[in-house]
Chain A
Amino acid sequence: AQRVTQPEKLLSVFKGAPVELKCNYSYSGSPELFWYVQYSRQRLQLLLRHISRESIKGFTADLNKGETSFHLKKPFAQEEDSAMYYCALANNAGNMLTFGGGTRLMVKP
C-alpha cells in the first residue's frame, strides 16, 4: 500500500522567511512524487514533480529515498504563495495517485 504523510496542517510564516513543507511517503516500489497546489478559489494544479528536478515559482523539492521524504522548500516566501499544498505519490503502474492530508501555507506581510 502507498501512503503519503504531511505532518503539518498549517504553516504560518512572514514574508521573506524560508519555507519548508514536509512530506513523507511509504511505498514498496520506486516512487514518483509530486507537489500540487490549490490557490483560493482555483483548481488544484501541479506545482512540480521530482523527475523533472525543476524549480517552479522559487520552490524546489528533493526526493530523499533514504528518509522517504520529498519536502518542498522556498528560500524567501511571498504573500502570493499562500495556498493549500498537497504532496502526492504515483504508483509504478501510474494509475493511482495518492495524496497527503495537505498543508495550508499562510504567508503574512
Chain B
Amino acid sequence: DAGITQSPRHKVTETGTPVTLRCHQTENHRYMYWYRQDPGHGLRLIHYSYGVKDTDKGEVSDGYSVSRSKTEDFLLTLESATSSQTSVYFCAIRQDTEAFFGQGTRLTVV
C-alpha cells in the first residue's frame, strides 16, 4: 500500500460546513495527489503537490484547497461543502511512474 492512509474513511457533513480530509504517507514520496471518483467520470484530479508548500491545480479544483506543510501530510479542504462534492476521494503518491492509492474517503454532503 506504499504506506498511504486516508482519514477519515467516511464522513457525512452538512452543506456549507468546512471539511478537511487528510492523506498521510510514510515513505517520503515527493508527489502526492487528490482525486475524486464519480460514476461516469472516473477519477478526476483535484490538486497535486510536488513538495512541501508546492501545490498546483488539477482538472476540478474549484471549491477545494490543499496544503502540504510537511512531506508526509497532504490535506484537502472543502471550505464550504456543497452537495456536488459528495464523492469518494482518493489520495495517491507517485513512485517512479506508478501511482499508489489510499483506500479512499467517502464524503456525503447533505
Task: Please list the residues of chain A having a beta carbon within 8 angstroms of any beta carbon in chain B.
Answer: 4, 6, 9, 32, 34, 36, 43-46, 49, 51, 86, 88, 90, 94-102
Name the A residues within 8 Å of B75 (CB-CB): none
A-B contacts counted at CB < 8 A amount to: 52
Which of the residues B33, B50, B98 comes within 8 Å of A49, measured between beta carbons? B98
Which of the residues A4, A44, A97, A99 comes within 8 Å of B94, measured between beta carbons? A97
Q: Among the listed stretches B11-19, B41-49, B63-71, B77-85, which one makes contact with chain A, having 4 or more residues with CB under 8 Å of it?
A: B41-49
Q: A9-B40, A44-B43, A98-B45 are in contact. List 8 more A-B contacts (CB 8 A).
A: A44-B90, A45-B101, A90-B97, A95-B31, A95-B48, A95-B50, A95-B94, A99-B35
Q: Which of A6, A43, A46, A101 has the most CB of B within 10 A?
A: A43
B60–chain A nearest beta-carbon distance, Å: 12
Name the A residues within 8 Å of B97 (CB-CB): 32, 49, 51, 90, 94
Chain B contact residue count (CB 8 A cutoff)? 25
In the assembled complex, the Cα of A21 lies from the Cα of B51 at a distance in Å of: 35
Do A46 and B1 form a contact, CB below 8 Å, given A97-B33, A97-B45? no
Overall SS of chain B's interface: strand
- Asked whether A94 lies within 8 Å of B94 as measured between CB atoms, the reply is yes
Name the A residues within 8 Å of B50 (CB-CB): 95
Name the A residues within 8 Å of B94 (CB-CB): 94-95, 97
